[in-house]
Amino acid sequence: MSLDKATVRRIAHLARIEVPDADLDPMVKELTGIMNWIEQLKEVNTDAVAPMTGGTDMTLAWRKDTVSDGAQPEKVLSNAPDKHDHFFSVPKVVE
């Protein structure tokens, strides 16, 4: 398993992390090393095995679908890097 530069660039884009071109080569090498090591899982026969999807065998409990909290916009916005009134501000999205 070998990742190429284009793949790493694509993953970085999916993850929304800017990677300068100069960092791509070492990153390709490290990620390829990790993925090669992970390849050994292919040896394990998992044909009749159900995936374990959580940390426990408990089933999630039901609860009433009701509002239990809210209506505190100042608190919600108190850590915002940029805000206007009761809104988070971001760069212009729609032209």
Partner 1 sequence: MTDLTRFTIAQARDHLRKKDFTALELTDAHITAMEKHRHLNAFITETADLARERAKASDFRIKNSDAKPLEGIPLGIKDLFCTQGVQTTAGSHILKGFTPNYESTVSQKLRDAGSVMLGKLNLDEFAMGSSNMTSHFGNVVNPWKARGHSDDLAPGGSSGGSAAAVSAHLAMGATGTDTGGSIRQPAAFCGIVGVKPTYGRCSRWGVVAFASSLDQAGPMTRTVRDAAIMLNVMTGYDPKDSTSAAMAMPDVEAVLGKGVKGMKIGLPKQYRPDGLDAEVGTLWDKGAQWLKEAGAEVIEIDLPHTKYALPTYYIVAPAEASSNLARYDGVRYGLRVAGNSLDEMYAKTRAAGFGPEVKRRILIGTYVLSAGYYDAYYLKAQKVRALIAQDFVQAFAKVDAILTPTAPTAAFGLNDKVVDPVAMYLNDVFTVPASLAGIPGSSIPAGLTAHGLPLGLQVLTKRWDEETLFRVCQVLEDSAKFPGLIGES
Contacts to partner 1 by CB under 8 A: 3, 7-8, 11-19, 27, 30-31, 33-35, 37-38, 40-42, 44, 46, 49-58, 60-61, 63, 75, 78-82, 88, 90-93
Which is nearer to partner 1, 50 or 71 (by Cβ)?
Answer: 50
User: How many alpha carbons fall within 13 Å on the CB side of residue 49?
Assistant: 7
Backbone CA torsion sign across 73, 78, 83, 84: positive
Which is nearer to partner 1, 49 or 67 (by Cβ)?
Answer: 49
**Least distance to partner 1 from the beta carbon of 40, Å?**
6
**Least distance to partner 1 from the beta carbon of 41, Å?**
5
| Distance between CA atoms of residues 6 and 90, nearest Å | 29
| Distance between CA atoms of residues 59 and 82, nearest Å | 40
**Least distance to partner 1 from the beta carbon of 39, Å?**
8
- Rounded alpha-carbon distances, angstroms, from residue 8 to 36, 49, 62, 88: 15, 31, 41, 31
**Least distance to partner 1 from the beta carbon of 67, Å?**
14
